[in-house]
Amino acid sequence: MKLLLISNSTNAGEAYLEYPKKYMKDFLGGKIKKVLFIPYAAVTFSFDEYLKKVQERFSEIGYEVESIHNYPFQDKKQAIKDAEAIVVGGGNTFQLLKLIQQQDLIETIRYEALKGKPYVGWSAGSNLACPTICTTNDMPIVEPDSFHAINLVRFQINPHYLDAHPDGHAGETREQRLEEFLVANPYVYVVGLREGTMLKIEDAVIKLIGPRKARVFKHGQEPRELGPEDDFDFLFE
């Protein structure tokens, strides 16, 4: 597989997709000319607006973008099969999964990615590559058929991972929320991806990219802080 799983689209003070665009260019390479975009996580703006926003940025690195929402229902699976690469944007993970389930696209995306078709996702798009979406930060504004996602990796991702516990906030921290997940799912690793970082999975090797370390959780173990120089291949276990 070739996966680029990005924590967030935008760093504070930067333009949309500014920081990951060079990594997406390196990942996709020069042979690919057009990517298929899945905009279904958009809620407060239209899929057409989302496509335009992504196309503007991808044009800067030399790729044309077409969106799956512009295909007739009966042609969407074929669009995935014909695509040179699949790109899944962020937004609300519950809506993203619900619409993909409704259109029966999970197995098609999974099959194509397992064959080696490049898959790029950020935020909700990264969650979608996991076994489930149970480690998303999003509000369940809609109800998918299940929480089962594409299952391209054996571990879970928590995008936008934060260490902070704001003053005056008496609720759970992000780490405490993930500990709840781990009690209920004790055999699963969770990778907390901090802002500005991503995981690249290629040739059966997992690499962290970015200026911050990832925080890796498993039930019964102390969380691990791992950087770009560290080995993440245990996540395949």
Helix (H) or strand (E) holding 5: strand 2-6
Residue type at position 131: P
9, 67, 123, 126: the active-site residue: 123
123 is catalytic: yes
The sheet with strand 198-202 has its strands ordered as: 64-67, 34-38, 86-88, 119-122, 2-6, 198-202, 205-209
Beta bridge partners of 157: 191
160 is catalytic: yes
Helix axes 93-102, 106-114, angle to 10 degrees: 100
Measure the N-to-C terminal CA separation of the chain; round to a whole number of Å. 16
Distance between CA 49 and CA 69 in Å, rounded? 12
148, 160, 165, 219: the active-site residue: 160
Query: What's the burial of 61, exposed, middle or buried (CB within 10 Å: 0-12/13-18/19+)?
Result: middle
7, 67, 126, 138: the active-site residue: 138
Q: How many CA atoms lie within 13 A of 3 on its CB side?
A: 30
| Rounded alpha-carbon distances, angstroms, from residue 106 to 36, 96, 151 | 15, 11, 9
Which residues does the annotation mark as catalytic?
Answer: 123, 138, 160
